[in-house]
Amino acid sequence: MTTAYLGLGGNIGDPVHAMAEALRALDADPATRVAAVSPVYRTPPWGPVEQPPFLNACACVETSLEAEELLALCLSVEASLHRDRSVRWGPRTVDLDLLDFGGRSLASDRLTLPHPRMADRAFVLVPLADIAPQLSVEGVSVIEHLRSLDTSGIERRDLAADWWRTA
């Protein structure tokens, strides 16, 4: 089994419900188990498109899938939850990003690991720090990366610890 970390987000419809549905779908797959899930955070919109704030979280999964197979599963789950990819960095019902896969480096047409922009994104690192503060990204822990980022506007939502099982 490989330990992988996922970033989750959404900003249209009911993002908490969509992220919960996505996590339950991943957990239901016989090759993947959700091991830990961060709290949910409200984060400022990011990207060139004007849009509402996001809700973000991170998850740790254990999987017997290879990295590109896990990516394919995540994309399939996104599609089942009506993810529209017509606008890059645009509004979305749900987004699943493969951030880290067993600490491996990979560069293919479909996938780059670790996620190439995660160390620069507070909306990723704040929830990731809740479940993997010492995870090494580019040789530096998540906590260390987070110290250099602007976290203003990121607010923890008051949800149950098992929000993804009940939402």
The CA distance from 125 to 97, in Å, is: 13
The whole-number pLDDT of residue 56 equals 97
State yes or no: is 130 an active-site residue: no
Token pair 């098992």 is found at: 162
Look at residues 50, 41, 48, 49 and name the one whose alpha carbon lies nearest to residue 10: 41
Question: Of the residues 85, 92, 121, 130, which is catalytic?
Answer: 92
* Class of residue 5 by CB neighbours under 10 A (exposed 0-12, middle 13-18, buried 19+): buried
The CATH class of 2-166 is alpha beta
The CA distance from 110 to 55, in Å, is: 25
State yes or no: is 92 an active-site residue: yes
* Class of residue 155 by CB neighbours under 10 A (exposed 0-12, middle 13-18, buried 19+): middle
Q: Tell me, yes or no, if the pTM score tops 0.85.
A: yes
Question: Of the residues 14, 27, 29, 97, which is catalytic?
Answer: 97
Asked if residue 127 has a cis previous peptide bond (ω within 30° of 0), the answer is: no
Question: Of the residues 88, 95, 120, 156, which is catalytic?
Answer: 95
The whole-number pLDDT of residue 84 equals 64
The whole-number pLDDT of residue 38 equals 98
* Class of residue 110 by CB neighbours under 10 A (exposed 0-12, middle 13-18, buried 19+): exposed
State yes or no: is 83 an active-site residue: yes
Mean pLDDT for each consecutive 10-residue tract of the chain (167 residues)? Answer: 96 94 97 98 82 94 97 92 64 90 92 91 96 94 95 94 90
State yes or no: is 24 an active-site residue: no
